[in-house]
Amino acid sequence: MKLFLDTADVAVIKDLLPTGMVDGVTTNPSLIAKSGRNIAEVIAEICALVEGPISAEAVATDFETMVKEGDKLASIAPNVVVKLPLTWDGLRATRAFADKGIKTNVTLCFSAAQAMLAAKAGATFISPFVGRLDDVGADGVGLLEDIRTLYDIHDFSTEILAASVRNADHVTAAALAGANASTIPADVFKALVKHPLTDKGLDAFLADWGKTGQSIL
């Protein structure tokens, strides 16, 4: 499963790139606003750092303006993925971009029916919001499983990108549900490596090694 960073903070991306496990980046209007920077400049800088797909979101709600915004965003770099809302206008724009070979990420997905429409529109990625569904008592991971089943039955090529991921358990569950990727905040990314027994075991090994008085170097 691919791991994407959900951030528009270039410093955060630079910090985690040396892990070799950052496969892409997703941004949204809220993250761009938090960065305090111009969207074109931020996206261009991120695309220069990360070879994988970089999602940049159109903010228009009507088809014509979505297409204009998406075209402008896609012109920034070849690895830009135009992010679009799961509305009729967004799906129409998704089809328009698919027809001309521009990759898309259809966001704000909360049902398998919506995911089916996005796939039929030619979306490159579908972004089901796992955490937000859990927040209202629904089953976010269950939605990932339903979409995986639906896509496999009908041979849709759209990739499932688990979004609104809140913790390491969500990432594991998304992988087991068959998601192609998860987009995760930096703190969750860093938490993936952590386990108290790992820390405890390493402390014990180092303590025992210290008693030998040896040095490997």
- The dihedral region occupied by 151, where left means phi > 0, alpha psi between -120 and 50, and beta the remainder, is alpha
Q: Say if CB 100 and CB 124 are below 8 A apart.
A: no
Q: Say if CB 68 and CB 44 are below 8 A apart.
A: no
Q: Which SS3 state, helix, strand or coil, does residue 152 take? A: helix
Name the nearest CA neighbour of 82 among 59, 51, 49: 59
* Distance between first and last Cα of the chain: 37
The residue annotated as part of the active site, out of 34, 72, 83, 211, is 83
Residue 14 annotated to the active site: no
Q: Catalytic residues, which ones? A: 83
